[in-house]
Chains A and B, each alone.
Chain A
């Protein structure tokens, strides 16, 4: 693992002039990375399904699957950051929903400008994220409980704001964003998704605030002593998650074309965003994870979803499938990090019955 670990770290930087040996272990390291494995699994799955059902990989279907993944892609990016800090955000579903209806009704009834809508969802997402941030950093409530609580509260608010009504028709430009392709197979929505993932990656890798997120997730106490503003960092993480959930609401609205008082919750955005994050290689123990992993996880789940339909597997088994995927993701995740293994070994041997 040490060699691999070394090689893994090498990957993050561009080291000039490697010898052949280093290049080879670099290749092994590349193959060992979760993102690559996921990509391979994704391609394999698509390939297999395409063999069973030709036309699965038609450009319109590819576009469909990619577009369908963007909502989760965006939300899971925010979820990734929160989970890196050893937290979790169970309120992303209603945050998405509130954002969607907040612009949906004005769009439907008053032809709200699409760019204004985008700005609005960002602001709303931030505001909702602030709620989570306050509960976790100021009130000191553990994230799982805090976001469980805001899940209820925001869910209720979502209902109150809609008064039971549903958005059913949208102006043309929203629909265009949601359904059209740049080139056959690549939807416009994907641009938004990929754009966000790239910005997130750069943020986490190259800004002090992004590195602070990793630091806090690894060892909050040491981060504090190093002068990192732990509270502020955590707060920011929840705001970012809210913000991205808001954008997720925008994407959802454009893609689905409607919104209601149960938007977000009815499509299990909570669970699926966590699933995508975990499948993408982020650990619930915190300290590591990447938005690109979550993005691949989102695509993976979208393709799997479509595959289930195409293969005529009963849709009622889909949640079970997601459940199994999560378990698989976590079990295979155990192969990373000697510390995790050490920690798990200790725990394991402390727990195993004779």
Chain B
């Protein structure tokens, strides 16, 4: 694949197309085999998705395919040519582009420069950078991915969705014909995801070779032409579009039948229960306004809405991380003004944040101290000195309750899988003996087995009296376990559903906008 400096924008007409084949790829880390003899083929004019649970190996696979990891054995063949020494450094030059989960642009530089980083156009002499042709071409590339922006804008002025599209455009600029998308829709709203899918389909129709990694089965089933299921490092299923069947895919991923659990609602009348959390007219522009609700003992209240509708900001405000402009928050009838997270925890209100990596775990710290991080001021002491052995026992008990699987409790948090890290977070907050719990996307980035466990745990806790506020973008999750759901759209409550009225359809309709008259 050679890049010609004078060629213009890749035209929308069909490309020649290259296929990319990974054969018998195997990779181990520290003795543990994470990818076992995997063979995948990516053909031009196709969107080929790789699905699997956490720990299944799909992330490793795509990293090998884009050069970030080197396989222990196996070969990579691109367009008939064997690839030796594929590295992140040269992958783009060879025509392979990985669109990362979070766009990784140069914030202070212009979009134009971002597009051409590494292959800046130069004058023949005296080898100086020539900005004019780049500026000219940039608009063309941006149009190709549906971006109508001024290419001279600084990259940090774009939204996440726009930045992601710039990443796609970069792939085009670098003449890459093979594009991998790694969980691209995580930071996007549904609308933005649709735009991305349109671009992907467009590229596919033009003959590009596309790989798509996603947890979100619904998306995968909607957009893929072909899918491959990984489980425990091995390929366990290959299907083409006409054969897709959701249950089959799910059981291939998990290796067992998943019984979708439905909460038995209406068996107790919750309206008589004690009010545990009362939120009144909570407002913080521009994120949300006039949010009011009551959460009772033993109730699971869902906050449904699209990504970006403001629910996390609401939770952060309730929890004291943000200051509201006006409104009141009361826990068990006691108003908490000028709250800090510590005040909330002391009052019995805990918050499990959606971004585990940034706001939850301490990657380089052992599990013990991760688990006790929420109750530092209540740790067992002798005088001013802590008692490590007692602390360890506390942590062990808590991790047992939430079934954390880890090498030892002294293992560093980063060695645990996503599902186990989330279980550790739950353990942390259970140690705080909460009365009200806010769960923000508790099953995001978690494999189906752990998802199930977490739902079971939440239901059990609610049974025991915990008042739960569940924020989720997954309609199924809300439908299955909530007693009541509030639909939030662009910062306001637009609807409420109770009991058996909660269905995917109704909820789905509400979260995309106010009910039309």
Do A and B interact directly, with beta carbons closer than 8 Å? yes
Chain A residues proximal to chain B, CB less than 8 Å? 1-2, 5-6, 8-10, 12-13, 205-208, 211, 214-215, 218-219, 221-228, 287-288, 337-339, 342, 349-350, 353-354
Expressed in whole angstroms, the Cα–Cα distance for A349 and B322 within the complex equals 7
Q: Is B107 an interface residue (CB 8 A)?
A: yes
- Contact A354 B320, beta carbon cutoff 8 Å: yes
- Contact A215 B117, beta carbon cutoff 8 Å: yes
Q: Is B335 an interface residue (CB 8 A)?
A: no
- Contact B152 A225, beta carbon cutoff 8 Å: no
CB-nearest residue of chain A to B359: A350
CB-nearest residue of chain A to B322: A349
- Contact B157 A222, beta carbon cutoff 8 Å: no
- Contact B106 A227, beta carbon cutoff 8 Å: no
CB-nearest residue of chain B to A283: B108
Known A2-B153, A222-B104; 13 more pairs at CB < 8 Å: A5-B153, A208-B120, A215-B109, A215-B117, A218-B108, A219-B106, A221-B104, A224-B89, A226-B118, A227-B92, A342-B156, A354-B320, A354-B339
- Contact A337 B107, beta carbon cutoff 8 Å: yes
Expressed in whole angstroms, the Cα–Cα distance for A353 and B338 within the complex equals 10
- Contact A10 B152, beta carbon cutoff 8 Å: yes
Expressed in whole angstroms, the Cα–Cα distance for A8 and B98 within the complex equals 31
Known A-B contacts A227-B118, A354-B339, A354-B340; A222 and B108 likewise in contact (beta carbons under 8 Å): no
- Contact A13 B107, beta carbon cutoff 8 Å: no
Report B322 CB to chain A, min CB distance, Å.
6
Known A-B contacts A211-B129, A337-B107; A9 and B156 likewise in contact (beta carbons under 8 Å): no
Expressed in whole angstroms, the Cα–Cα distance for A26 and B119 within the complex equals 30
Which 6 pairs, one residue from A and one from B, show the smallest C-beta to C-beta distance? Answer: A226-B118, A339-B156, A218-B106, A354-B340, A9-B152, A287-B108
Q: Is B154 an interface residue (CB 8 A)?
A: yes
From B93, B106, B122, contact of A287 by CB (8 A): B106
- Contact B92 A337, beta carbon cutoff 8 Å: no
Chain B residues proximal to chain A, CB less than 8 Å? 88-93, 98, 104-110, 113, 117-120, 122, 127-129, 131, 135, 150, 152-154, 156-157, 174, 320-322, 338-340, 343
Count chain A CB atoms within 10 A of each CB in B89, B90, B340 and give the residue with the most.
Answer: B89
Return chain B residues, CB-CB under 8 Å to A2: 153, 157
CB-nearest residue of chain A to B149: A6
From A5, A214, A225, A350, contact of B92 by CB (8 A): A225
Expressed in whole angstroms, the Cα–Cα distance for A227 and B157 within the complex equals 25
The binding surface of chain A is classed by DSSP as: helix
21 interchain pairs (CB within 8 A)? A2-B157, A6-B152, A6-B153, A6-B157, A9-B152, A12-B152, A13-B131, A13-B152, A211-B113, A214-B108, A219-B106, A222-B106, A223-B106, A224-B88, A226-B118, A226-B119, A287-B107, A287-B108, A337-B154, A338-B156, A354-B340
Known A-B contacts A226-B92, A349-B321; A207 and B127 likewise in contact (beta carbons under 8 Å): yes
Report A342 CB to chain B, min CB distance, Å.
8
- Contact A214 B109, beta carbon cutoff 8 Å: yes
- Contact B154 A9, beta carbon cutoff 8 Å: yes
Return chain A residues, CB-CB under 8 Å to B127: 207-208
CB-nearest residue of chain B to A208: B120
- Contact B343 A354, beta carbon cutoff 8 Å: yes
From B89, B98, B109, B135, contact of A13 by CB (8 A): B135
Return chain A residues, CB-CB under 8 Å to B107: 218-219, 287, 337, 339
Report A29 CB to chain B, min CB distance, Å.
12
Return chain B residues, CB-CB under 8 Å to A222: 104-106, 117
Report A279 CB to chain B, min CB distance, Å.
18
- Contact B128 A1, beta carbon cutoff 8 Å: no
The binding surface of chain B is classed by DSSP as: loop
- Contact A207 B129, beta carbon cutoff 8 Å: yes
- Contact B106 A215, beta carbon cutoff 8 Å: yes
- Contact B104 A219, beta carbon cutoff 8 Å: yes
- Contact B153 A9, beta carbon cutoff 8 Å: yes
Count chain A CB atoms within 10 A of each CB in B109, B119, B343 and give the residue with the most.
Answer: B109
CB-nearest residue of chain B to A286: B108
Return chain B residues, CB-CB under 8 Å to A354: 320, 338-340, 343
Expressed in whole angstroms, the Cα–Cα distance for A212 and B92 within the complex equals 17
CB-nearest residue of chain B to A222: B104
Known A-B contacts A219-B105, A221-B104; A226 and B117 likewise in contact (beta carbons under 8 Å): yes
Report B215 CB to chain A, min CB distance, Å.
23
- Contact A214 B156, beta carbon cutoff 8 Å: no
- Contact B110 A9, beta carbon cutoff 8 Å: yes
- Contact A225 B157, beta carbon cutoff 8 Å: no
Known A-B contacts A9-B153, A349-B321, A349-B322; A208 and B93 likewise in contact (beta carbons under 8 Å): no
Report B386 CB to chain A, min CB distance, Å.
24
Return chain A residues, CB-CB under 8 Å to B109: 214-215, 218, 287
CB-nearest residue of chain B to A350: B321
Return chain B residues, CB-CB under 8 Å to A288: 108
Expressed in whole angstroms, the Cα–Cα distance for A221 and B106 within the complex equals 10
Expressed in whole angstroms, the Cα–Cα distance for A159 and B202 within the complex equals 68
- Contact B157 A1, beta carbon cutoff 8 Å: yes
From A228, A287, A350, contact of B118 by CB (8 A): A228
Expressed in whole angstroms, the Cα–Cα distance for A342 and B113 within the complex equals 22
- Contact A337 B108, beta carbon cutoff 8 Å: yes
Return chain A residues, CB-CB under 8 Å to B91: 225
From B119, B154, B320, contact of A5 by CB (8 A): B154
Expressed in whole angstroms, the Cα–Cα distance for A130 and B117 within the complex equals 26
Return chain B residues, CB-CB under 8 Å to A353: 340
CB-nearest residue of chain A to B90: A227
Return chain B residues, CB-CB under 8 Å to A1: 157
Return chain A residues, CB-CB under 8 Å to B153: 2, 5-6, 9
- Contact B154 A214, beta carbon cutoff 8 Å: no
Expressed in whole angstroms, the Cα–Cα distance for A206 and B122 within the complex equals 9
- Contact A5 B157, beta carbon cutoff 8 Å: yes
Expressed in whole angstroms, the Cα–Cα distance for A1 and B88 within the complex equals 35
- Contact A208 B156, beta carbon cutoff 8 Å: no
Expressed in whole angstroms, the Cα–Cα distance for A206 and B338 within the complex equals 52
Return chain A residues, CB-CB under 8 Å to B321: 349-350
Return chain A residues, CB-CB under 8 Å to B154: 5, 8-9, 337
Expressed in whole angstroms, the Cα–Cα distance for A226 and B150 within the complex equals 22
Expressed in whole angstroms, the Cα–Cα distance for A2 and B321 within the complex equals 28
Return chain B residues, CB-CB under 8 Å to A342: 156
From A10, A12, A227, A339, contact of B89 by CB (8 A): A227
Return chain B residues, CB-CB under 8 Å to A350: 321
Return chain A residues, CB-CB under 8 Å to B339: 354
CB-nearest residue of chain A to B130: A206
Expressed in whole angstroms, the Cα–Cα distance for A27 and B332 within the complex equals 57
Expressed in whole angstroms, the Cα–Cα distance for A174 and B192 within the complex equals 65
CB-nearest residue of chain A to B128: A206
Return chain A residues, CB-CB under 8 Å to B105: 218-219, 222
- Contact B88 A208, beta carbon cutoff 8 Å: no
Expressed in whole angstroms, the Cα–Cα distance for A10 and B151 within the complex equals 10
Expressed in whole angstroms, the Cα–Cα distance for A211 and B128 within the complex equals 11
Report B331 CB to chain A, min CB distance, Å.
15
Expressed in whole angstroms, the Cα–Cα distance for A342 and B159 within the complex equals 12
From A221, A223, A337, contact of B156 by CB (8 A): A337
Count chain B CB atoms within 10 A of each CB in A6, A13, A225, A227 and give the residue with the most.
Answer: A225
Expressed in whole angstroms, the Cα–Cα distance for A342 and B93 within the complex equals 33
Return chain A residues, CB-CB under 8 Å to B104: 219, 221-222, 225
Return chain B residues, CB-CB under 8 Å to A214: 106, 108-109
